[in-house]
Amino acid sequence: MAAQGRPNYDRMPVPQTAGTESRARRGDVRILVIEDVPDEAELTIHYVRKGGIACIWHRVDTEVALRDALRDFQPNVILSDFSLPQLSGLTALRIAREVAPNLPFIFVSGTIGEERAIEALRCGAVDYVLKGNLSRLAPAINRALDDAAARLESRRQESQIARLTRVLRMLSGINGAVLRIRDRSELFAEACRLAVTVGGYTTAIVMLPHPTTRAVQPVACSGVDPQATETLRAAVAESVSLGTSIVRRVLKTGAAFVCNDTTDPTATANIQEIMAQTGFRSIVALPLLIDKTAIGVLLLTAPEVGTLSDEELQMLREVAANLAFALQYLQKDNTVRFLSYFDAHTGLAKRSLFCERVGRLWARSGNRGMRSAVAVIDVEKLSVINDSFGRHTGDLLLQHVADRLRRHFHDTELLAQFGGGTFAVALDVTRDAADPIATLQGNLTAIFGRPFEIEGREIPVSVKSGLALYPEDGKEAAVLAQNAEAALRNARASGQPHLHFSLEQHSAVVARLALEHKLRTALERRQFELHYQLKVGIKSRRIDGVEALIRWRDPESGLVLPGAFLPLLESTGLIAEVGDWVLEQAARDCQHWQRLGLPAVRVAVNISPVQLRRPDFAERFLQVTKPWANAGCGLDIEITEGALFDDCAAEVKRLKLLRSVGVRIAIDDFGTGYSSLSRLSDLPIDTLKIDRMFISRLAEDGPGRTLVSTIISLAHAFGMSVVAEGVETEDQLGLLWEMGCDQAQGFLLGKPVSSDVLAELLEKGKGRLKFLAGRREGTGGDES
């Protein structure tokens, strides 16, 4: 029995039966018996145990003892008599409901009537058992405990759902902040605030490494109690230096740390000490992972035990993942912003920031007493340095150049790098300076006068520059920078080291760029076309061949002759693409004439040195001509003198290959270059074409006639045929006939014509050309 005022825990074992297995899993039931008669209490417990319930029990019979037992004994169920001398059953029920509202309360009485029983149930009792029928007691207790457990589980689930709902709202709020906020400190402060005000946590702290020292430190925190939050923040920051710190553990392992009860003996001493200072009972530390590496920690606390469920932890992992993503994005965004305004290697401003800075500076200063200028400076032969010493050395050189510019021009906001080896500087020149270029040259001599020492190697650097003055050459920084670049381009083209911007030169450059754009468009839209000029046998008066000459059908200007655009094609490299088109179009025209059954004719195509230097030139040429060409009909090649008189072994080899399959090779405009006549016999040449300059003076210039005659004789001696270009008069043709020249080409014999007109000529004359003496002379000879 249990004596009043002194707990007596009776642990007598009870034999297990099949009916008691599920109840035994609960362990010993703690029963508080409110009974003034000890024997009655003993009898009640006897029936409880007889019913298969293992229990620990305690008896009370006063209000004071009841309150003490509720606090200290913490029963699972109360069994109470209805009528006691010092305490009524309904009073005991009221006290139990007040102190422990969820505790099952069962009346065990022999005096309770039906009306009193109904009143008791209405006031909160779960059941009543008559002392005369105590065999009902054990089932009633089991039912009450099961109902209490069900209610407790229901409340736990409701609480968990409410908590998960709060965490879900917190997750949604933080996701919105990630999308909205671009400042790291502001983002983490908002995340901590949401964790406390929406998620229901008592404290939230975000910890990240310091960018310089790499020491982990709190960067944002929030809490219900500011003092407790600051205590926890300071304690966590101090604990990071300890090897047992949970923050260090999370950063090292990359795994979340969860403790649902900091008083648990398994919790680390470090956690117990921190939580003892703040009164928090649950803690979770989640890693912020970037590329599977923990770079920060999100720490949350709660005052209750057992707060964190698996479902809640999963949501918190998602919160941490989203914050880590935001951190990575902000880091990349900051890097992108830096790289969008500064060069990655030198750290100098790029064009847009430079122009913005210079514009601001000029607006503040007003340029009183000084004349402002923008100079653009280009390091020459940077590609040669990269090829000779490696790209790494080239990058180091640019960094050294930037360092010297910084030392010479102390205001680094006036410096920029426009890309590659091109730098810019805004400088002042006195208004009475006669030559601003001299001022610029003095600065550049001071900067680049000494070689640069790169990894033990001295590298001398030369530069070119362009200068634009305010306000003569532009009133905005961007315009001045653009004009200074135009002056730099002119300096490169002219070979001069430094040039001041010239509107006339700039207009020429702009026109050249516009023409280049139009030529690229012409190639894309097939605005080029081929015209053909006859090559006629001087003695036979037959058409021995034609030369393909390119024309441009400009929608704005009409038919444009090649002299207006060929130099630009060559300087821009477009000549290779246009040359490929000429080959293909000439081949298409030849095949068309073949299908019409016209007399066979060979077409000479001008090949640029750029095309000839291609390793696959011969293969490309044969691919275009081989399927249809024959001895009478095909494509031949014309090249300039300079194409074969340098180191040209590879080019000669390609021409020999083509010549071996019947392609004829001619040197165009012969006599205008520096050819060695003695070397002609070593080259795969079939024909020399005498330049029109010599033919135009043939009738009145004795030495000229001698030169032409000598060329014809030498060519025949080497087994070559000769074509005279630019034949315009009967006298010229007669002299060429006397000298034994083989073919003539020029306005006397016909101007260049389209493919369709040439087809008519071939059809009507069947390959023989008839022309009248005294025909009106042309003014341009043959056209190219």
Is the pLDDT score of 466 beyond 90? yes
Contact 611, 641 (CB under 8 A): no
> If you average pLDDT over residues 353-378, what whole number do you get?
78
In this prediction the pTM is: 0.48
Mean per-residue pLDDT, 736-741: 95
Query: What is the overall mean pLDDT for the chain?
Result: 84
Please state, in angstroms and rounded to a whole number, the distance separating the CA atoms of residues 337 and 357: 16
Check residue 779 and give its pLDDT: 40
pLDDT score for 55: 93
Q: Strand pairing of 216-223 and 257-259? A: unpaired
Per-residue pLDDT at 339: 67
Straight-line distance from the first to the last Cα atom of the chain, in angstroms, rounded to the nearest whole number:
130
Cα(151)–Cα(128) distance, integer angstroms:
20
Question: Which of 5-19, 269-283, 403-417, 713-727 bottoms out in mean pLDDT, i.e. has the lowest?
Answer: 5-19
Strands (E), 663-745: 665-670, 687-690, 721-725, 743-745
Question: What is the pLDDT confidence band of residue 275, given thresholds at 50, 70 and 90?
Answer: low
Would you give the distance in Å from CA 121 to the centre of its chain?
Answer: 73
CB 347 within 8 A of CB 403: no
Give Cα 88 distance to the centre of its chain.
81
Query: What is the model's pLDDT at position 244?
Result: 58
pLDDT value of position 364: 72
Q: Where are the alpha helices (DSSP H) in 613-701?
A: 617-625, 649-660, 692-696
Of all residues in the chain, the percent with pLDDT exceeding 90 is 42
Strand partners, 500: 467
Cα(154)–Cα(139) distance, integer angstroms: 22
Question: At residue 69, what is the residue type?
Answer: A
Q: What's the confidence (pLDDT) of residue 253? A: 86
